Structure 1
Amino acid sequence: MAQASCNNLVLIGMPGCGKTTIANELKEKLCIPCLDTDAIIEYTQKKSISELFKLGENYFRNIEEKVVFDASLLSGVIISTGGGVIKRYNNIVNLKKNGVIFFINRPLSKILEDIDVDNRPLLKDKKESIIKLYNERIDLYKGYADIEIINDSSIEEVLSRIINLYKGCDL
């Protein structure tokens, strides 16, 4: 895969790893727009992610792929993705064309402590589902990421690491 440009800052990772929180904090600190692909999907489809999943995961992933493609065409934005964005290779190819992908790797024990599973369709079986998803996806996250950030310290430390690495890219 070609080396990513650092125009967009893209966040991938497990549900509950902190992507949305980190993206919102980065938006404030870097003064650049932030897109949350799940929020865009809910807004444009006028349905929650859970409602869309009831129509089938493939149905949802098709919508997600289109939203990711459109977001990847933008410049100078933060893109916070849904946890399953890595399930479609095209999503990664498109995100890398114009961005650097940060894998927010939060220890599974921390995710299990904090995650609200009620609004996450693939986690309806609670903690067993999170463990299964983690095991299915961890190698994809690591393989597709340009940079891995371990989210096991304070939010300020995590933000500092991301900003320093992002600013070190050729913009």
Structure 2
Amino acid sequence: MENNDKNIILIGMPGSGKTTIGELISQKRNMKFCDIDHYIEEKEGQSIPEIFKDYGEVYFRKLETSAVEAVSKYKGYVLSSGGGVIKFPRNMEVLRQSGIIIFINRSVEDIISDVETEGRPLLKDGKEKIYNLYDERISLYRRYCDYEVANDGSLEATVKKIIEIVKNTFY
């Protein structure tokens, strides 16, 4: 990789494929990978659902902002964000400074068909909540991304689209 100081940041809805796609991109591009939610869990010694249950969403969002500030200092990473990272402009300003932001847009119907709501605190009220979240967040995802990529085919096809964007942007 020629420009290895830039990060590839993936944003999108819960269940859009950010983590899986991010891991595949990191393998194909020989980059390191960091899932910001996993980073928070390791640092806190608790799962995201436990953090939400014990301390609430406001506390979690503060942890998320701290995590974004920490991982944005990484260089040459693929970063997978939590679905709500876009709720705070500060998060997106910090992420934008570290690389290219790709919005992985997957249809709500596809998300509902295979998302597991058990480990997702904001979806615990049922899969119909995904429609509400999508409506609330779609304009923010689009505002903050540099590129939007539809995850509407195979994972390989989506990864290939993102890698092409990155090549054409950085290299």
TM-score range, shorter chain: over 0.9
* TM superposition shift of 1:127: 1.5
* TM superposition shift of 1:56: 1.1
Once the two structures are superposed, the pairs formed by residues 56-71 of structure 1 within 5 Å of their partners are 56-71=56-71
In the alignment, which residue of structure 1 is the partner of 2:110? 110
In the alignment, which residue of structure 1 is the partner of 2:144? 144
Task: State the superposition RMSD in angstroms.
Answer: 1.0
Aligned partner of residue 16 in structure 1, secondary structure:
coil
Q: Deviations over 1:16-59 (max 9, x none)?
A: 00001001111110110001000010001000100111211110
For structure 1, list consecutive stretches of 5 or more residues without a partner in the other structure: 1-5
Q: Which amino acid is 1:24 matched to? A: E
In the alignment, which residue of structure 1 is the partner of 2:49? 50
In the alignment, which residue of structure 2 is the partner of 1:26? 25
Q: Deviations over 1:143-171 (max 9, x none)?
A: 11000000001111111110011011235
1:96 maps to 2:69: no
Q: Which amino acid is 1:133 matched to? A: L
* TM superposition shift of 1:75: 1.1
Once the two structures are superposed, the pairs formed by residues 79-90 of structure 1 within 5 Å of their partners are 79-90=79-90
* TM superposition shift of 1:129: 1.1
Structure-2 separation of matches of 1:70 and 1:8? 13
Report percent identity of matched pairs.
45
Q: Which amino acid is 1:41 matched to? A: I
After superposing on structure 2, the runs of 4+ consecutive aligned residues of structure 1 that deviate more than 4 Å are none
Aligned partner of residue 169 in structure 1, secondary structure:
helix
* TM superposition shift of 1:128: 1.8
Count of residues in Structure 1 that have an aligned counterpart in Structure 2? 166
Aligned partner of residue 14 in structure 1, secondary structure:
coil
* TM superposition shift of 1:98: 1.5
Structure-2 separation of matches of 1:91 and 1:65? 6
Normalising by structure 2, report the TM-score: 0.95
Q: Deviations over 1:53-79 (max 9, x none)?
A: 121111000000000011111111110
* TM superposition shift of 1:13: 0.2
Q: Deviations over 1:89-133 (max 9, x none)?
A: 111000000210000000111001010001100001111211111
